[in-house]
Amino acid sequence: MPIVLDYDDVIFDTFKKLIKFYNKAYREWFRKEHFIHADFKKVWRITREESSARFREFFKSTESASIIPYPGSRDFIRRLAMRHELHIATNRPEEARKETIQLLDRYFKGMFTDVHFCTRDWGLDHFRKKSSVCREVMANIILEDHPENVIDCAMDGRHVISSRPAME
């Protein structure tokens, strides 16, 4: 049975590294409790284009390269992969494909059938929804943390396992 998993803040602890990078690069003092919106540009009080540029910098940074999986996720995914066809659906931009695949290969080599990117132009163009990825791979289950994606997938008839570790 195909299952789709989100990448950032579902299997990888990205949020912590992103905030560390952002605070250092832009001399800010954000903490996780500041993120009451899933749309980071609202929290950062910057434009969409500025947000895209800052994510581009992050994806090329040493902080991004040092992201690690959540404790227990490697064992959990290894067990799932023994019985199911696993796919990643991510809102990371296609331009971050190399860095994304490198981290997956470092921690989850051979466990995922494919990685499906849902944005391009450094996140400015959301060209497909994760629900369409689920339909494409015929997955009825998705593990997802972003509220808009959770709602979209649920409305599309998918079983959504939702977690919000970054915003807790």
Q: How many domains does the chain have?
A: 2
CATH number of the domain at 7, please.
3.40.50.1000
Model pLDDT for residues 89-130, shown as the tens digit of each residue: 999 989 999 999 999 999 999 999 999 999 877 777 788 999
Residues 77 and 144 occupy one common structural domain = yes
Among 65, 82, 101, identify where a domain stops: 65
Round to whole Å and give the CA distance between 126 and 119. Answer: 4
Segment holding 119, helix H or strand E: strand 114-120
pLDDT of residue 166: 41
- For residue 98, the SS3 value is helix
Round to whole Å and give the CA distance between 9 and 11. Answer: 6
How many CB atoms neighbour CB 158 within 10 A?
A: 20
Residues 96 and 161 occupy one common structural domain = yes
Query: Which range of residues forms the domain containing residue 30?
Result: 14-65
Residues 73 and 137 occupy one common structural domain = yes
Question: Phi and psi for 61 in degrees, rounded to 5?
Answer: -90, 165
Q: What is the pTM of this model?
A: 0.88
